[in-house]
Structure 1
Amino acid sequence: MIISVHSFRGGTGKSNTTANLSTVLAMSGKRVGVVDTDIHSPGIHVLFGLQEGDVVHSLNDYLWGKCNIEDAAIDVSPRLGRKISGQIFLIPSSMKASDIARVLREGYDVGLLNDGYQRLIEELKLDVLMIDTHPGLNEETLLSIAISDALVLIMRPDSQDYQGTAVTVEVAKKLDVPHMLLVVNKAPPIWNPNDVKARVERTFNCPVAAVLPHSDEMMTLASEGIFVIRYPNHPMTALYQQIAGMLNV
């Protein structure tokens, strides 16, 4: 199963959501692959405790023909700080400034991504492949959305996100994505989540998997670890589990 996690704008908490959903699925015994296709501004590796020196090969190397994509996969399960029954393999994008500059300057063959996704599923015997996309709509994100079995769209409850999400939902429907869920993130705690859920579902005619409130604990964690591991009994963790359950993996 391929699941894309996407947002029209940056700063919505997309990578945090991807990392936490991946961890919830792996804790249930799944073999999960996570691909960071936000090549221009990679970041999900930080959540899994990876430094530049830990990465021998990256997604960039695969796209430039330097290695097979499975060679870039890193088993990050031991870095979670808690033993889990499944596994998480992260395929990071390069953190090197020179590699990011090369991508911006030369681009890459987007078609290789589809081949790479299928090869990862086969070579690593994955139950789930999670794609952490680049914000907005471009050739790479359209490909990822088009080949996904499920799409999780992250949005914040503000006017700019409403407009951008509307465009993305329309595109996803035209691409016939089989299963689409919305997640409202960083909602002010004084707002009634049921009211927010009803308004968003009415606006986009799409189910809302969860309304995630602004969390001081999430802010304090500051991307240094996976929230559902650090705070297993927190209400936010229950919401991440709720989202994962709605993905029907």
Structure 2
Amino acid sequence: MASETEILKALSRIIDPDFGKDIVTLGFVKDIRIEDQQAFFTIELTTPACPVKEEFRNQAEQAVLALPGIERANINMTSRVRGGISDKQAIPGIANIIAVASGKGGVGKSTTAVNLAVAMAQSGARVGLLDADIYGPSIPRMMGLSGFRPEVSTDGKTIFPLENYGVKTMSIGYLVEENKAMIWRGPMVASALGQLLGDVAWGELDYLFVDMPPGTGDAQLTLSQKVPVTGTVMVTTPQDIALLDCRKGIEMFRQVNIPTLGIVENMSQFICPHCGESSPIFAEGGADRLSQEFNTVVLAHIPLSMPIRELSDKGTPVTAALPDSEQAAAYRLLAGQVARKISVLNSRKIDIPIIMQG
């Protein structure tokens, strides 16, 4: 009969591709016991959205079943998302804050943020989504929560987020009429964003995604100054004018010591709804060139697809409405890539200006 030591030795041959070390050295393997020719153990990953989770499970099963006297491997796959270290005041209970940003409006940033959040929640993570676009909030409609109002504590100091598709959400759009224009100066925007960050009962979250307004103004500065932002996901289309503004966004976050996790090339290809043919109507290869310039990576190429637009308008993100579709698969891939970048970044436990390398 194999021993616990032999099981650990067998599992030490499994290498995590992101950390470059084996899962035993990384401390992923826990609670080993052997009963009646069965091996029981837990593999605790750094995120439930780990892209190689099933690969780890299969490798671990094969490694243990190859040992003498083991006829069955019972593997419990779990995860514990860790936060990083920062000198800024963290929001209690929130491990990671990720800004979803763009230099330019109209590139599909909010659509990306919504589907990224839902896809991450579908992986089993505890997820929140904050709408930081005070002038043009779109999260209420995209998340199917238009017309709903959040509850407020009896003392009026705490707001409780609204939840849909497994994602806790907050937006200024819940607090004002949908068609009302917010004619506010910068200090009022900063104050409102500060309240949406600090006065909301988010609870325990692995990831809080912040849907930023376009540009490099008050909202971006407020977020970077008030809370420890783990990193940014930059959204752009392939065309040169969008890439120009995305470049400015990356530079701005770098100046405030917030790393870029990577770039999402949205509307990468137009998918014809009749024949399925792909056409690069906004040019192609722009995000790849930009990623090389800033030594970062392209996290995903998201197509320009009618179902994504139609379902967003209806308040049913494609990741929730059509989970088996190619479009939803692209967002799940994005969620996995974002999760693994965050895990690697937090493992470094440093707080310096850096752009994630591929």
TM-score (norm 2): 0.57
What is the CA–CA distance in structure 2 between the aligned matches of 1:176 and 1:206, rounded to whole Å? 15
Shift of 1:68: 3.2
Shift of 1:142: 2.4
Query: Which SS does the other structure have where 1:185 is aligned?
Result: strand
Q: Which of residues 244, 247, 251 in structure 2 aligns to 1:170? A: 251
Partner of 1:80: none
Runs of 5+ consecutive residues of structure 2 not aligned to the other structure: 1-95, 270-277, 343-358
Structure with the greater relative contact order (CA < 8 A, sep ≥ 6): 1 or 2?
A: 1
Q: Counterparts in 2 of 1:98-109, with a 5 A limit?
A: 100-101=181-182, 103-104=183-184, 107-108=187-188
1:4, 1:145 within 8 Å by CA — same for their partners in 2?
no
What is the CA–CA distance in structure 2 between the aligned matches of 1:235 and 1:97, rounded to whole Å? 32
Deviations 1:21-79 (A, max 9, x none): 11111112222111111110111111111122x11469xxx9xxx9435x1411223xx
What is the CA–CA distance in structure 1 between the aligned matches of 2:312 and 2:193, rounded to whole Å? 30
The alignment of Structure 1 onto Structure 2 pairs a total of residues equal to 230
Shift of 1:204: 3.6
Partner of 2:161: 73
Q: Counterparts in 2 of 1:1-249, with a 5 A limit?
A: 1-52=96-147, 54-56=148-150, 67-69=156-158, 71-77=159-165, 87-94=166-173, 95-96=176-177, 100-101=181-182, 103-104=183-184, 107-108=187-188, 110=190, 113-114=193-194, 117=197, 120=200, 123-145=202-224, 147-188=228-269, 189-191=278-280, 195-224=285-314, 225-248=316-339
What is the CA–CA distance in structure 2 between the aligned matches of 1:6 and 1:68, rounded to whole Å? 29
Q: 1:38 to 1:116 in 2, by over 3 A?
A: closer
Q: Which moved more, 1:167-176 or 1:140-149?
A: 140-149
Query: Which SS does the other structure have where 1:209 is aligned?
Result: strand
Question: Which structure has greater strand proportion?
Answer: 2
Amino acid at match of 2:252: V
Question: Which structure has greater helix proportion?
Answer: 1
Larger radius of gyration: 2
